[in-house]
């Protein structure tokens, strides 16, 4: 089944007269670009046609505005602004709005052509959706709403007829014909006026069965008003019926303001508590009591939303004591024992003249000892291993570094050698020549010696 932006309803189902003033034959070309193929539906604004766009070589949907609205200057100006805002929203779960065209007295909006069925057709005759299908639709719609709200655009008319379940698996929100920029003042002042039927639109904007209470009071619509309408859609999908009924549209809209919906848990006992709580919060009369954004709503609907928030914090036990400290202590004791054994062995092979432990150590004499004797080194006391407890603190063991003291070598004091003058020996056979001063020099030499 084909669907396009707009309700896939006949004019009578949409509350319109059989002849809405728009009748186009297949093959009609508009603006030398759009080739009309067939009529695929009708909505509150007018008829919807499928056409072939010769410029982009693809099918598009042409949503025509009823002549009574197209001739109103205020309505034409409003449509221009709304198309402008709708063009700024680009998301896979939002139907694209291309442009606003006018030709031969016809005013129409060019939009993305979608193939699938509306959610309204899926829920016809009170059929309920499964929880899995409801959550899948919810994720797609909330993704599209988040993108629109981020651009400052509110939809203002969320209902099953504006939701397409596409053949490619997408869930697409369509028809921003009533959307308004969030920063612009609302023109929905004045008395409430509704047409016959619960699916037609009010002067305030929106559909009686899905309109937010603040819009009924004449307030300004925004993201939280969209979330209320979204909550009504979820309620209808899960319960198989809308939350409110009324004999007249006026009675129906006042139910949104004054009445409480039947408890969803009583109508559907198999629903998880967090899903029921999320739907109930979306249907709060006070906008401030609802979720603040589409992202917050999506987080609350996730299957693990309740379990994650209520999950207790489990304290992890302390780590088991490691045996590394014990090994280090044992190694230290073994090292100290090896040092003591080496010292005792060295002392055992030393000369008998080595001093006893009780005597004070003396330096060996160079004349009596051929080689120096090492002085025994005091035995280092090993660090005892710390005791273990059921939950011990980390063990820090300091291993003393063994030191080996070399024996001291005796100091040998060497006095500088005395310089003795060399005197030639006297030869009795050689008689020195007579020298008058020789006797005086010999006496001086004798005095020196």
295 is catalytic: no
Residue 148 CA to residue 154 CA, distance in Å, equals: 7
Which has the closest alpha carbon to 138: 299, 261, 4? 299
Q: How many CB atoms are closer than 10 A to CB 314?
A: 6
Asked if 53 contacts 33 with a C-beta cutoff of 8 angstroms, the reply is yes
Asked if 242 contacts 126 with a C-beta cutoff of 8 angstroms, the reply is no
Instruction: Return the bridge partners of 154, or none.
Output: 180
Residue 9 CA to residue 200 CA, distance in Å, equals: 11
Number of C-alpha atoms within 13 angstroms, CB side, residue 275? 21
Which has the closest alpha carbon to 27: 15, 36, 39, 19? 36
Q: What angle in degrees, to the nearest 10, is found between the helix axes of 223-239 and 131-150? A: 170
Helix (H, G, I), strand (E, B) or coil at 37: strand
DSSP-assigned states of every residue in 157-188? ---GGGEEEETTS-EEE---TT-EETTSPP--
Asked if 235 contacts 256 with a C-beta cutoff of 8 angstroms, the reply is no
Q: How many CB atoms are closer than 10 A to CB 45?
A: 26
With a CB cutoff of 8 Å and minimum separation 6, the contacts of 116 are: 1, 3, 164, 165, 166, 167, 168, 172
Which has the closest alpha carbon to 119: 248, 17, 214, 242? 242
With a CB cutoff of 8 Å and minimum separation 6, the contacts of 130 are: none
Residue 117 CA to residue 123 CA, distance in Å, equals: 11
Which of these is catalytic: 20, 38, 53, 157? 157
Residue 43 CA to residue 9 CA, distance in Å, equals: 7
Active site residues: 157
């Amino acid at each position: 089944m084909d669907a396009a932006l707009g309700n896939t309803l006949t004019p009578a189902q949409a509350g319109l007269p059989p002849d809405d003033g728009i009748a186009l034959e297949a093959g009609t070309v508009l603006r030398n670009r759009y080739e009309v193929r067939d009529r695929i539906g009708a909505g509150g604004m007018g008829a919807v046609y499928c056409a072939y766009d010769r410029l982009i070589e693809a099918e598009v949907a042409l949503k025509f505005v009823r002549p009574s609205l197209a001739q109103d200057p205020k309505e034409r100006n409003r449509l221009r602004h709304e198309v402008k805002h709708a063009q700024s929203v680009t998301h896979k779960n939002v139907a694209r709005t291309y442009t606003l065209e006018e030709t031969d007295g016809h005013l129409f909006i060019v939009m993305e052509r979608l193939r699938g069925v509306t959610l309204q057709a899926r829920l016809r005759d009170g059929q309920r959706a499964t929880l899995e299908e409801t959550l899948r639709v919810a994720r797609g719609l909330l993704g599209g709403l988040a993108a629109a709200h981020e651009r400052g655009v509110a939809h203002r008319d969320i209902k099953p007829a504006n939701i397409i379940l596409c053949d490619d698996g997408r869930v697409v929100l369509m028809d921003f014909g009533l959307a308004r920029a969030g920063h612009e003042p609302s023109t929905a002042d004045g008395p409430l006026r509704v047409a016959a039927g619960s699916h037609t639109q009010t002067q305030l904007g929106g559909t009686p069965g899905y309109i937010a209470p603040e819009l009924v009071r004449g307030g300004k619509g925004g993201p939280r008003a969209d979330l209320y309408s979204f909550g009504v859609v979820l309620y209808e999908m899960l319960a198989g019926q809308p939350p409110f009924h009324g004999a007249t549209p006026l009675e129906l809209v006042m139910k949104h303001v004054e009445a409480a919906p039947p408890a969803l848990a009583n109508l559907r006992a198999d629903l998880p508590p967090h899903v029921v709580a999320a739907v109930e919060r979306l249907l709060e009369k006070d906008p401030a009591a609802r979720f603040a954004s589409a992202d917050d709503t999506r987080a609350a609907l996730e299957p693990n939303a309740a379990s994650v928030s209520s999950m207790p914090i489990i304290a992890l036990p302390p780590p088991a004591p490691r045996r590394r400290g014990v090994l280090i202590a044992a190694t230290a004791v073994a090292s100290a024992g090896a040092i003591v054994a080496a010292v005792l062995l060295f002392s055992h092979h030393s000369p008998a003249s080595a001093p006893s432990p009780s005597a004070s150590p003396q330096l060996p004499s160079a004349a009596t000892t051929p080689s120096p004797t090492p002085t025994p080194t005091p035995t280092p006391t090993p660090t005892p291993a710390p005791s273990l407890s059921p939950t011990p603190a980390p063990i820090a063991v300091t291993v003393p570094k063994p030191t080996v003291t070399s024996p001291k070598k005796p100091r040998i004091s060497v006095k500088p050698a005395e310089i003795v003058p060399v005197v030639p020996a006297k030869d009795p056979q050689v008689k020195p020549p007579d020298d008058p001063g020789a006797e005086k020099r010999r006496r001086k030499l004798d005095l020196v010696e």
